[in-house]
Structure 1
Amino acid sequence: MIAERALKTLEYDKIINQVSQFCTNSIGKSTIEQLKPKTTLEEVNQLLDEMDEGLSILRLRQNVPMGGIFDIRPSAKRAQIGGVLSPMELMEISSTIRASRIFREFIEDLDADEEIEIPYFLEKKEDLPILTGLQHEINSCIDDNANVSDSASPTLRTIRQQLRMQEGRVREKLASLTRGTNAAKMLSDSIITIRNDRFVIPVKAEYRSHYGGVIHDQSSSGQTLYIEPDAVVQSNNEIHSLKTKEKAEIDRILGVLSAMVQEVAHEIFVMIQVLGQIDVILAKAKYGQANKCSKPKMNQEGYMKLTQARHPLLDRETAVANNIEFGKEFTAIVITGPNTGGKTVTLKTVGLCTLMAQSGIPIPALDGSELAVFDQLFSDIGDEQSIEQSLSTFSSHMVNIVDILKKFDENSLVLFDELGAGTDPQEGAALAISILDEVHGRGARVMATTHYPELKAYGFNRPAVVNASVEFDVETLSPTYRLLIGVPGRSNAFEISKRLGLPDHIIETSKGYTGTETHEVESMIASLEESRLKSEKDAEESAHLLQEAKELQAELDAKLKDYDDLKESLEKKAKEKAKKIVEDAKRESEAVIDELHKMKTNANKIVKEHEIIEARKRLEEATPVENKVLKKQRQINARTQQLQKGDEVRVTSYGQKGVLVEKASNNEWVVQIGILKMKLDESDLEYIKPEKLKDTVNVSNVRGREAVKLELDLRGERYEDALQLTEKYIDDALLSNYHRVSIIHGKGTGALRKGVQELLKRHPRVKSYAFGSASEGGYGVTVADLK
């Protein structure tokens, strides 16, 4: 059971109030007000799974129909003890039953779609009793304005028909009196009104005897009397009699309907309970959506890992998120440092997230966070000074701590804020250490904050204990509220004083009074902070490099896949082509053999010499294609013996052109094919003579020139020299029949990049240009396509 004091000091009620704002009816709000954290893993996981189902439904359907629900439990209780319900109460019962039916249909439709698994909501649907019969009975008797309708019973319909007829006759008689010749003189106004449920007319006081009858009322001045004339007294009596009958019939109908409610009162209580639970589940899910919360993983091992957790009661946009992990390697955290640094906020963040998770409420942390289910949670937070009990701050804290020490066990989470504060620093620090040793020694998970310097080294000589602090920026003289686990807090008094202008000789003198041990501790902490900052910087650089590597890996994987797909496609086409050639050769051979057989059979026919030669030629052409391929391959191999670096070649197995980059071994070359570099056997390469030099330039002279590279590196060159080199390089690349080149200009100020791209834009033989891909150098390289 979670201690009430912990719920109060951690402001759990404020979290419940925030979640209740997302409830759609008073039933849900009253239900969530009774919500307390559960203490078993099974119960907590069920609450979180229910909430997660609600979140999935909201993501899929945006909204869940929960309108028209009223808290009808008081009405059901009155009906249960024999009370007669009013038309309004019956209408609210009917509306709530209707809302329950609509929710059932909604869940059934959602389940039929089979888009999500919603076992808990299906179970809630089955728990809802079906009271459609009662709803129809009420609707047939009570209209939308909460009045008993004429159709409620034949008797009521007859009475109301007679009542309307009688009222019509009375109005007609009185109307004739108001239209009489002397009416304008004797009546205050020519209207018919009602007094004491009887129809009357306003008569001037001096003419009261003219109409006779009964006076029911008079004006404040006494000059107007509201008289029921003798002519309509009997008719009004009949109307009164009919209204009495009408009321009796209405009471009878309401009594019958109330008796029906009485019969199903228990089912109504169950329905309201289930609808309240559903509203609470959806309210939790809506709260999680609105505050970007997540569902934590739960365990029973006392392990906690909060990733970028925020205090749930602070502004989400300004609250600093922290990573907090403990419960495995270390089970106690001692946060040291000056006041107003955020130590208490960190403590409350852990406590509130635990309470929220154990109540099935999503927590303000990233996905992947994990929390433990504790049997008990104790906290000693805030100023507990009590004037009534004549207790000081220290005494009231100590009373609470004594109570905690009596009740906690190994399945407890204990939170101490400013442990040992309010008394002599030396004695307070000693008490704080002893209390921490006691709580930690008995296996509980404990977090404590303190500003005592004696506790800065507490975690260094005790197993499973770690120091922590809240970061302070000396440059801005303000806390950053970032939690630093493993680094105790520094005083920063000397640094702050120096920044504020305190003379150096005073600071140096004060340092002499602090003692050797303090200097050593502060130096140790400073060293730890320096190491932490360096580690964070290294981690950030590593993360950046890792991200670049992942992007490059993804790009290479994509290109490799494209290569494999192309290879597979070409192999398939080659096999199909070879198969077709063999089949054609087979058919041609068979045709030639048939003709030769015919020649042999027709011995009398003179076979001409040219026919024999032609048949022999056709038979040779129909020989298996493998021999021709081998013959062609031997011709290619002969040519490849003279290949040199920079030559343009055709890769025969892929039908693609490429450029020789370097020789990998005796029989292999590294070939650049587009943006890919591949290692290929010489037997797979065929030299291509440069097209523009075939007719005008001696090939041996061209191949004797130094090979032009596929990329030009301008880094370190002066602006004018770089542009001249670029223009000459484009000409050389065109002479080498290159279709695509890369120009490396670097990122720098962007001036060289802009100049190079302006030159490419003006060059008549540049078809297009663009920045290189991430693997080619990104914005530091421009890739140009030549024409």
Structure 2
Amino acid sequence: MNQKVFQTLEFDKIIKILTGYASTEMGRDLCRKLTPMTKETDILNAQDHTQDALTRIYRRGSISFSGITDLKPSIARLNMKGSLGAGELLNIAKLLETVKNAAAYNSSEDDDMEADSLDEIFEALVPLNDLLREIRRCIISEEEISDDASSALKSIRRSMKQANQKIHNQLTAVVSASSNQDKLQDAIVTMRNGRYCIPVKQAYRNSFPGMIHDQSASGNTLFIEPMSVVTLNNELKELEGREQAEIEKILSLLSEEASYAADDLARNQDLLVQLDFIFAKAKYAKDLDASRPIFREDGVINIKQGRHPLLDQKKVVPINVSLGQDFSMLIITGPNTGGKTVSLKTVGLLTLMGQAGLHIPAFQGSSLGIFREVFADIGDEQSIEQNLSTFSSHMTNIVSIIQQAYKDSLVLLDELCGGTDPIEGAALAISILTDLHDRGIKTMATTHYSELKMFALSTDDIENASCEFDVETLSPTYRLMIGIPGKSNAFAISRKLGLDEHIIEGASGQIDESVKDFETILADLEKSKQTIEQEQEEILAYRKEIESLRRSLKARQDNIKEKREKTLRNAREEAQRILQEAKDVADQTIREYNQLKKQTNKDTNKKMEHMRSDLRGRMNKLENQMTSRKKKRSGKRHDAGDFHVGDEVYVSSLSLNGTVQTLPNAKGDLYVQMGMMRSLVNIRDLEITKTAKEVKRENQRNENRGRARTAMNKSATIKPEINVMGMTVDEAIAELDKYIDDACLANLAQITVVHGKGTGALRKGLHNYFKTLKKQKRISGYRDGEYGEGDLGVTVVTL
């Protein structure tokens, strides 16, 4: 398909918007390469993918593929048995985590979705969970390898910690000695060139034999490594070298393990990028409220309530367009700014979108043809004063279209042959349209020429259309009306704007009577069609309302019938059980009575009397059970004053619970909300189950529980440490203010603030802030970090 039409119809802008919905750069590349297809199977497969992804989004929510980077260079190095860095291995882990999430998303059992076109893609993903776990176990971040990555690394780091401790102990003793206080610039231990040093004043350099590693900008301070720690520093450097060698060994082993799965990694990446592209189309369709079009082999276009996708979807006026069923050519006439060009672009752009596998912003059931080529000559200029060069430019384009167009093409022509003599332009336009029509090419054209209205009226298979214009407001409505040519509104507009009537009459006298009659007929037709369409819309609205009420009534009747049948069935079962129990009691008692009759002593008479009394008692009990269903209600009658808005009640006639919405009227009727249903019920049919005050107390208790859960959630998620390094004092205080509130809510006893050493300005500013908090009793104290906690680079705060 020719590339020029993509810019003419602004398909390139659609691609730009679509690109924003992809999560990965590779997915965005696929979006940028998307073009309309011409094979029906390819188009239908692409539409299946978009539809099935959209269905999954509605049923299961969206899925993200963000974080995936292009692993092709890394996979190429793996195939050559090369070793990857920590960052590259982490990228592999991100890919495998996305594969794991995608597999879980596809196997969700929360719904009863049927198999679709995406199952094959999801099921082709290869989870490599062992490799994922190993990478995550060994690598914490690009700069940090876990101590547990290997036993050797753990041992080396333990030795490094011990060496650090020895160095710190010795240097701390030096800087803490009272005899050295005046000789040191600061009583701190610092690092220069990877070696631990102390800051010595220039005048006392000979008091501390050792290696000078640096000096301050002023030259007043020397950073000296005392001889007593040189050996320990050398040992530490050696351990650091061993640590790096062990890290490289760990990365090499991980790379070797990843190389065995290089092909699966490459395939996983391709599949995830494809899914990212497909779900980008679905997300765009969701936001655009688009639907899947039906594709007709005969090229019939029937767009229902179509909207231009680049216009504001809340303001754009939908249009109904048909082409190819009853007519193969549509000529749209009407005034400037009336929406003719937008209608033309909407049809062309929706056609390109549909053939590219995108859903279109139109009503469900809209159909599109499949065209091998779409041609468009649409000028952006809407000026009345068109010059020859503009006409020549458009005609050059039209000549090219006529030469290249064939039966499977769609041709869109805007202001055909405009910018030249009206008589010649109209004649030329009719001749061009006749040629396209004779060749069976589906065409839509807009024009100002009245001659083309008559051409469409007098030629079979060609139909007129117009864009509605409201003379009262002097503005277009942008509604496309097929079957009626657009009429001239020049006189009506001029009269509305206040032009003298005698001038308008003078102009009218210069127009041929047949033209006047034709314009009058057009006006009557337009008015009649508007009236009919309005009545049809009202009838349709009434039908929808009636149908909705009918369904609601039927559902309610079915619900009542079902509840009545259930109640009767339960009652019959209960009655059957009670009667059977009564029969069993009577039979058992009669048997025992007959046995006792044979005995004729005093005790026998007492037993028989006791059995008679017991039988009477048991029968009374069964009788009470038979009548218990009638005594379900407490029997208490409520007065109108007993009811308050918010009371929870039981509606006996409907066997439903509800909430009182209004106070009783003089007849004792009030409104009760029962789920989705709101009904007028008499107080005789109601029993109060919970008063409004009780409901309020219960809601308050639930709210208190919610607050407790919030505090519990905070304690489960908040960390006991916050890093403000690199921030200004104001930025750090802003971060700390909220963090301390959260920490207090989570009941933390102590927090650590990491601010670094640097110039010491941030540390000093934060300590002043902590003093303020201590005065306000928001914290109980603070101190500098000790060795192992971060030294002067951190402050420990007690809440």
State the TM-score bracket (shorter-chain normalisation). Answer: 0.5 to 0.7
Deviations 1:364-394 (A, max 9, x none): 1111211122222122223489xxxx99322
Q: Return 248-257 or 199-208, whichever deviates more.
A: 248-257
Distance 1:439 1:83, change over 3 A: farther
Contact kept, 8 Å, 1:380 with 1:401, in 2: the verdict is yes
Deviation at 1:554, TM superposition (A): 8.2
SS in 2 for 1:130: coil
Q: 2:331 maps to which residue? A: 334
Distance 1:266 1:517, change over 3 A: farther
Q: 2:446 maps to which residue? A: 449
Q: 2:55 maps to which residue? A: 56
Give me the whole-angstrom Cα distance separating, in 2, the residues matched to 1:242 and 1:767. Answer: 90
Contact kept, 8 Å, 2:59 with 2:111, in 1: the verdict is no
Please list every run of 5 or more consecutive structure 2 residues that lacks an aligned counterpart in the other structure: 563-664, 670-799
Residue type at the aligned position of 1:123: E
Q: 2:30 maps to which residue? A: 31
Q: 2:190 maps to which residue? A: 193
Pair 1:126 & 2:123 matched: yes
Out of 305, 310, 313, the position equivalent to 1:308 is 305
Distance 1:411 1:177, change over 3 A: same
- Kindly report the root-mean-square deviation, in angstroms, between the aligned alpha carbons of the 2 structures: 3.4
Deviation at 1:119, TM superposition (A): 2.2
Q: 2:291 maps to which residue? A: 294
Structure 2 length normalisation: TM-score?
0.65
Deviations 1:445-478 (A, max 9, x none): 2111122222222211222111111011111111
Contact kept, 8 Å, 2:416 with 2:445, in 1: the verdict is yes
Contact kept, 8 Å, 1:487 with 1:529, in 2: the verdict is yes
Distance 1:545 1:15, change over 3 A: closer
Q: 2:219 maps to which residue? A: 222
Q: 1:493 maps to which residue? A: 490
Pair 1:258 & 2:255 matched: yes
Give me the whole-angstrom Cα distance separating, in 1, the residues matched to 2:550 and 2:157. Answer: 86
Deviation at 1:240, TM superposition (A): 1.8
Give me the whole-angstrom Cα distance separating, in 2, the residues matched to 1:544 and 1:212. Answer: 98
Out of 368, 372, 377, the position equivalent to 2:369 is 372
Distance 1:152 1:7, change over 3 A: same
Give me the whole-angstrom Cα distance separating, in 2, the residues matched to 1:559 and 1:209. Answer: 101
Give me the whole-angstrom Cα distance separating, in 2, the residues matched to 1:161 and 1:57. Answer: 51
Residue type at the aligned position of 1:87: A
SS in 2 for 1:120: coil
Distance 1:204 1:560, change over 3 A: closer
Deviation at 1:546, TM superposition (A): 6.0
Give me the whole-angstrom Cα distance separating, in 2, the residues matched to 1:209 and 1:561. Answer: 103
Deviations 1:232-259 (A, max 9, x none): 2222222222222222232233233334
Pair 1:277 & 2:274 matched: yes
Contact kept, 8 Å, 1:384 with 1:396, in 2: the verdict is no
Give me the whole-angstrom Cα distance separating, in 2, the residues matched to 1:424 and 1:158. Answer: 94
Q: 1:267 maps to which residue? A: 264
Contact kept, 8 Å, 1:6 with 1:377, in 2: the verdict is yes
Paired residue total: 565
Q: Return 36-45 or 533-542, whichever deviates more.
A: 533-542
Give me the whole-angstrom Cα distance separating, in 1, the residues matched to 2:402 and 2:215. Answer: 80
Residue type at the aligned position of 2:137: S
SS in 2 for 1:200: strand
Residue type at the aligned position of 2:21: F
Give me the whole-angstrom Cα distance separating, in 1, the residues matched to 2:388 and 2:189. Answer: 77
Pair 1:115 & 2:97 matched: no
Give me the whole-angstrom Cα distance separating, in 1, the residues matched to 2:425 and 2:482. Answer: 23
Q: Return 422-431 or 217-226, whichever deviates more.
A: 422-431
Deviation at 1:331, TM superposition (A): 1.2
Deviation at 1:438, TM superposition (A): 2.5
SS in 2 for 1:173: helix
Contact kept, 8 Å, 1:457 with 1:521, in 2: the verdict is no
Pair 1:92 & 2:91 matched: yes
Alignment of 1:62-101 (within 5 A): 62-64=61-63, 66=65, 68-77=67-76, 79-80=78-79, 84-101=83-100
Q: 2:434 maps to which residue? A: 437
Deviations 1:685-730 (A, max 9, x none): xxxxxxxxxxxxxxxxxxxxxxxxxxxxxxxxxxxxxxxxxxxxxx
SS in 2 for 1:366: coil
SS in 1 for 2:130: helix
Residue type at the aligned position of 1:56: T
Q: 2:613 maps to which residue? A: none
Deviations 1:611-661 (A, max 9, x none): xxxxxxxxxxxxxxxxxxxxxxxxxxxxxxxxxxxxxxxxxxxxxxxxxxx
Q: 1:18 maps to which residue? A: 17
SS in 2 for 1:214: strand
Residue type at the aligned position of 1:14: K
Alignment of 1:249-648 (within 5 A): 249-383=246-380, 392-516=389-513, 518-537=515-534, 539-540=536-537, 543=540
SS in 2 for 1:491: coil
Give me the whole-angstrom Cα distance separating, in 1, the residues matched to 2:243 and 2:403. Answer: 70
Give me the whole-angstrom Cα distance separating, in 1, the residues matched to 2:216 and 2:534. Answer: 92
Contact kept, 8 Å, 2:410 with 2:443, in 1: the verdict is yes
Deviation at 1:325, TM superposition (A): 1.2
Please list every run of 5 or more consecutive structure 1 residues that lacks an aligned counterpart in the other structure: 566-760, 769-787
Q: 2:734 maps to which residue? A: none
Deviation at 1:493, TM superposition (A): 0.3
Give me the whole-angstrom Cα distance separating, in 1, the residues matched to 2:164 and 2:456. Answer: 93
Q: 1:248 maps to which residue? A: 245
Deviation at 1:424, TM superposition (A): 2.7
Alignment of 1:642-661 (within 5 A): none
SS in 2 for 1:363: coil
Residue type at the aligned position of 2:12: D
Deviation at 1:543, TM superposition (A): 4.5
SS in 1 for 2:197: strand
Distance 1:459 1:82, change over 3 A: farther
Residue type at the aligned position of 2:504: I
Give me the whole-angstrom Cα distance separating, in 1, the residues matched to 2:75 and 2:416. Answer: 53
Deviations 1:493-516 (A, max 9, x none): 011112222222222221233335
Q: 1:153 maps to which residue? A: 150
Give me the whole-angstrom Cα distance separating, in 1, the residues matched to 2:557 and 2:213. Answer: 103
Give me the whole-angstrom Cα distance separating, in 1, the residues matched to 2:345 and 2:414. Answer: 9
Contact kept, 8 Å, 1:27 with 1:272, in 2: the verdict is no
Q: Return 222-231 or 441-450, whichever deviates more.
A: 441-450
Q: 2:39 maps to which residue? A: 40
Distance 1:253 1:431, change over 3 A: farther
Distance 1:500 1:89, change over 3 A: same
Structure 1 or 2, whichever has the larger Rg, is 1
SS in 1 for 2:224: strand
Deviation at 1:552, TM superposition (A): 10
Deviation at 1:37, TM superposition (A): 1.9
Give me the whole-angstrom Cα distance separating, in 2, the residues matched to 1:767 and 1:394. Answer: 81
Give me the whole-angstrom Cα distance separating, in 2, the residues matched to 1:128 and 1:428. Answer: 61
Give me the whole-angstrom Cα distance separating, in 1, the residues matched to 2:28 and 2:553. Answer: 56
Give me the whole-angstrom Cα distance separating, in 1, the residues matched to 2:460 and 2:90. Answer: 67
Deviation at 1:193, TM superposition (A): 1.2
Distance 1:558 1:94, change over 3 A: closer
Contact kept, 8 Å, 2:202 with 2:221, in 1: the verdict is yes
Give me the whole-angstrom Cα distance separating, in 2, the residues matched to 1:484 and 1:197. Answer: 81
Contact kept, 8 Å, 1:466 with 1:486, in 2: the verdict is yes
Q: 1:5 maps to which residue? A: 4
Contact kept, 8 Å, 1:458 with 1:467, in 2: the verdict is no
Identity %: 42
Give me the whole-angstrom Cα distance separating, in 2, the residues matched to 1:272 and 1:52. Answer: 23
Contact kept, 8 Å, 1:457 with 1:467, in 2: the verdict is no
Give me the whole-angstrom Cα distance separating, in 2, the residues matched to 1:175 and 1:546. Answer: 90
Give me the whole-angstrom Cα distance separating, in 2, the residues matched to 1:82 and 1:467. Answer: 71
Q: 1:612 maps to which residue? A: none
Distance 1:345 1:207, change over 3 A: same
